[in-house]
Amino acid sequence: MTVTVDRRATGQLAITLSRPKQRNAITVAMYAALADAVEGAANDPAIRVITIEGEGEDFTAGNDLYDFLKEMPAPGTTDIPVWRFLRALANNRVPIVAAVHGNAVGIGTTMLFHCDLVIAEQGSRFKMPFVDLGLVPEAASSLILPRMAGRRRAARYILLGEPFSAEDAAEFGLVSHIAPTGQLTATFDKIVANLLAKPAEALRQTQALLRREDTSEILDQMELENGHFGERLASDEVKQAIAAFFAAKAQATA
């Protein structure tokens, strides 16, 4: 298994993307494990905080396109593991904290919109190259990002696919804390310990109140995005874009 799920006595459910040689690129099996972990925490009163980290040099390179092509969902499919995971994040009622370092690409960025706190190490890099791959955004990022950052900045990051820094992400609210280089783990552990020390039910109820206003709208936007995403998968643009991606990757490693 390339996702490690550690249910700790403290009440922390520690989820780690553990595929460092592939830059933690996420496979279908990994999405299923992530969905199971987040869904399970919702019904487990002993879980006080969920954490997500990435092993190795990057948080995650996003979707594993090799695996994705092998496991391409049939048109009209709505219950594939990646969408289960994203819905679980949107419905989640346990405080969730992410630690980001290196690159956070595609879903590596969009999943963070559904975390309650995001600690990023200086030098972290975020990128959402959906349009470059012939696709559309996911995780309701087409709704959430314009609200957080404004439509013009959202267009830079989603339409143009421009990368942005931890400082940029903190300025518009995606990142809650920036850790100095080499101090991500210490900063992250301190924040998680702070949450674990608080009254558990008060923490859950307050987290739910913070999210209550827009959950249904976010889920509706996810369904809209997923419909367009599914349609795009059958398009020639996606086939050409993914073929170009693999060709560029092969040339870079030759």
Q: Is the pLDDT of residue 254 over 70?
A: no
Residue 219 class from Cβ within 10 Å (0-12 exposed, 13-18 middle, 19+ buried)? middle
More confident residue, 27 or 251: 27
- The one-letter code for the residue type at 125 is R
- Banded model confidence at residue 116, pLDDT cuts 50, 70, 90: very high
Q: What is the pLDDT of residues 11-40, one digit of tens each?
A: 999 999 999 999 999 999 999 999 999 999
Q: Outline where DSSP puts E strands in the chain.
A: 3-7, 12-17, 49-54, 96-100, 103-105, 117-121, 125-127, 164-165, 177-179
For the chain, domains (ranges, CATH) are 3-179+210-253 (3.90.226.10)
CB 145 within 8 A of CB 168: no
Q: Are strands 177-179 and 117-121 parallel, antiparallel or unpaired?
A: parallel
Q: In what order do the strands lie in the sheet with 125-127?
A: 103-105, 125-127, 164-165
Q: What is the pLDDT of residues 166-220, one digit of tens each?
A: 999 999 999 999 999 999 999 999 999 999 999 999 999 999 999 876 888 999 9
Q: Phi and psi for 9 in degrees, rounded to 5? A: -60, -25
pLDDT > 90 in the chain, percent: 80
Distance separating alpha carbons of residues 32 and 66, to the nearest angstrom: 17
- Banded model confidence at residue 76, pLDDT cuts 50, 70, 90: low
Range in 90-104, 128-142, 167-181, 233-247 with the lowest mean pLDDT: 233-247
Contacts of 105-108 spanning 24+ positions with Cβ under 8 A: 105/60, 105/61, 105/62, 105/129, 106/61, 106/62, 106/63, 106/130, 107/26, 107/60, 107/62, 107/63, 107/82, 107/138, 107/139, 108/24, 108/54, 108/58, 108/59, 108/60, 108/61, 108/62
Structure token digits, residue 7 = 């249910």
Give residue 75's pLDDT.
61
Q: How many CB atoms lie within 10 A of CB 17?
A: 26
Distance separating alpha carbons of residues 126 and 234, to the nearest angstrom: 27
pTM of the model: 0.94
Average pLDDT over residues 108-128: 98
